[in-house]
Amino acid sequence: MLPNAKINRVHYEVNKYFRAYYAELRKHIATHDPSFQRLPLWFKGGRKVETLVCRDGIIVIHWPYEKASGMFPDKPDSYPLFKLPDELVKERVAKYDIDWPDPNAFPPAEAFAPLIPDYTPGAAFKPGVWPEPRRRGTELDDQGTYVNAADQWTRLDYTNMDRLDAWRDVPRARTQARTLLSNYLEELH
């Protein structure tokens, strides 16, 4: 486990990075789609941005407020820190994957790669980010139209202990926000 001073430093950098990320997102949403006509509702509202310090790395997971009720209140973002010294990043990340209610439903669950590729404990692993909620289809109608079934976390980042500088580049946070929004808003292309 990292010393407390190092954990506090990483947590500070995560907070600074994602404050810039969400400020950029909200600025462009307010300018281009404030009524969420083109953007998915998971862009809306405040976030609980959790930093999880595991035995072999860091996870940053973004949760919407009141996800169970479908409400997206405009609350200020929060940045809690959790220490999980007995867990590996891959073990914790696996807990955030979507469970299929019916394993026989199309597409089958095995058609989707895990959120984080498997690695040997103690080995370095490649950092990763899921900038949007994990999506899996569920059948909607007889024409074979599928919809997204994920309304849990809205973003998930992870890195190993050798790459703790992942959240130091604040201009990159702003670029990531614009890039994500450009998938939905033509004005940002």
Give pLDDT, residue 112: 57
81 vs 142: which has the higher pLDDT:
81
Give Cβ neighbours of residue 46 (< 8 Å, ≥ 6 apart): 64, 65, 73, 74, 75, 76, 77, 78
94 close to 109: Cβ distance less than 8 angstroms: no
114 close to 158: Cβ distance less than 8 angstroms: no
99 vs 149: which has the higher pLDDT:
99
pLDDT bin (cut points 50, 70, 90) of residue 110 is: very low
58 vs 166: which has the higher pLDDT:
58
Output the six-digit token pair for 29.
């949403």
88 close to 55: Cβ distance less than 8 angstroms: yes
Give pLDDT, residue 97: 74
Give pLDDT, residue 177: 96
Give pLDDT, residue 122: 83
CA distance 81 to 114: 24
Distances in Å between the Cα of 169 and the Cα atoms of 7, 18, 54, 139, 165 are 18, 10, 22, 40, 8
CA distance 18 to 16: 6
- Between helix 170-182 and helix 4-32 the angle, nearest 10°, is 40
- For 121-153, the pLDDT digits (tens) are 888 899 999 898 876 555 444 544 444 444 578
CA distance 74 to 83: 28
Give pLDDT, residue 71: 53
Mean pLDDT of 51-68: 87
Would the pTM of this model clear 0.95, i.e. be above it?
no
